[in-house]
Structure 1
Amino acid sequence: MALPTGGRAKVLARRGRQRIYTRQNAEKSGGRKVRFKKTKLKDCWLIEPEVFEDFRGEYTMTYSEKVFAENGINVKFVEDDISMSSRHVLRGIHGDQRTWKLISCPHGKFYFIVVNCDQQSPDFGKWDSFTLSARNRNMVLVPPKHGNAHLVISESAIFHYKQSEYYNPEGQFTYLWNDPKFNIWWPVKNPMISRRDEEGHYV
């Protein structure tokens, strides 16, 4: 095989001097660390993965069963789902009695709320809010008996969620997004919502 000459030889020489960023290098330099932060709600966690950047782009570890277990979260996820919505679409408040959910935003940005919907809990009605985006890569772990809702605040956004139970529509509850007893603050007063969410229950 003939050796490269001229311009191609110079390009290869430059490449030879360039650092090669492999997954192994990423693990040494970053992109594998995850911070778990407590929220206002018991067992609800804000999860901040480290983003590793180089000349090619970015790398982020979004989920590791081992890392979660090391932080006291022993949840087995069995189903992944996504929804895509346009600006000012609001979905929620939805939840059930058994499912853990890990929420992230791989595209766009949305305002996300979690509310305690366990009527036997002294914290019933307590809520917390977060901004999840493709840029910050943050995630929220939502425990069972908690409702969640999101409002898209970018041109469009993808809502990605891992679930610990297979989806069962008959086991779902829906509360009104603007129930005065929850008194949740929303950045938009007149969002676009589905008929299901229009017909949600008051507390």
Structure 2
Amino acid sequence: MIVDKSEIDGVLTVTPGIFEDYRGYYVETYNQHDYQAAGIAVPFVQDDISVSRRGVLRGLHGDAKTWKLISCLSGEIYLAVLDCRDCSPTKGAWQGFTISDRNRMQVLVPPGVANGHAILSERAIFHYKQSEYYDPGSQFTVKWNDPAHGIWWPLSDPILSQRDR
């Protein structure tokens, strides 16, 4: 497993080890012992997935208490994170990551950092582990194309939910 810091304070990328042979490959997507040994001691309590088609953009969403470990189980997504924490040295900064079932990258997103993703493949399965149980009342939303943030997206006319418009 390889863990790297990103440009956003507290956001980490994690690349699990992959065992590959003539039959295919095997990936251990989470092992509490290994993550703790790497300095990631987040107590995850809930796993969620969303399945979407090409052109869908979900987010930017976040809350003040939940850590998320994000991965793409199938297909390819573009993940954007935006630091919304008032006390952060990288407040207002954003970063984008391309995550797929081929590169198996994971992104650890701390509380107060919004995340959103756009589907690049025909279909994708977005997966995330959460440190808190889902509480819609505690969530905040940042408009995906707010010019104040200048986030680059790989699509200009995404399919959006009512909330994300």
TM-score range, shorter chain: over 0.9
- Residue 3 of structure 2 corresponds to 36
Which of 39, 64, 68 aligns to 1:97? It is 64
What residue identity is the alignment partner of 1:58?
Answer: Y
Aligned position for 1:24: none
CA RMSD in angstroms, aligned pairs only? 0.9
Tell me the residue number matched to 1:3. Answer: none
Determine helix, strand or coil for the equivalent of 1:110.
strand
Bigger strand share:
2
- The C-alpha deviation readout for 1:70-126, integer Å capped at 9, x for no partner, is 111110100000000000100000000000000000110000011101134342210
Aligned to 2:24, which of 57, 62, 66?
57
Distance of 1:178 and 1:147 partners within structure 2? 13
Match of 1:70 in 2: 37
1:171 aligns with 2:146: no
CA–CA separation in structure 2 for the residues paired with 1:180 and 1:95? 19
The one-letter code matched in structure 2 to 1:159 is F
CA contact (8 A) 2:9 2:88 kept: no
Q: Deviations over 1:146-172 (max 9, x none)?
A: 000000000010110000000000000
Q: 1:112 aligns with which of 69, 72, 79?
A: 79
Give a deviation string over 1:42-90, Cα, whole Å, max 9, x none.
1110111121111221111111111111111110100000000000100
Q: 1:113 to 1:126 in 2, by over 3 A?
A: same
**1:154 equivalent in alignment to 2:121:** yes
Does structure 1 conserve the Cα–Cα contact (< 8 Å) formed by 2:63 and 2:112? yes
Which sections of structure 2, spanning at least 5 residues, go unmatched?
none
Larger radius of gyration: 1
In structure 1, C-alpha distance between the alignment counterparts of 2:84 and 2:57, rounded to whole Å: 18
Distance 1:119 1:42 in 2: 12
Q: Distance in 2 between matches of 1:35 and 1:107?
A: 21
In structure 1, distance between residues paired with 2:40 and 2:139: 23
User: Which structure 1 residue ranges, 5 or more long, are not aligned?
Assistant: 1-33, 199-203
Counterpart residue identity of residue 138, structure 2: G
Question: What SS is found at the alignment partner of 1:69?
Answer: helix
Deviates more, 1:99-108 or 1:120-129: 120-129
CA distance in 2, matches of 1:135, 1:193: 26
How many residues were matched structurally? 165
Alignment pair present for 1:80 and 2:47: yes
- Match among 144, 150, 166 for residue 111 of structure 2: 144
- The TM-score normalised by the length of structure 1 is 0.79
% identical equivalent positions = 52
TM-score (norm. length: structure 2) = 0.97
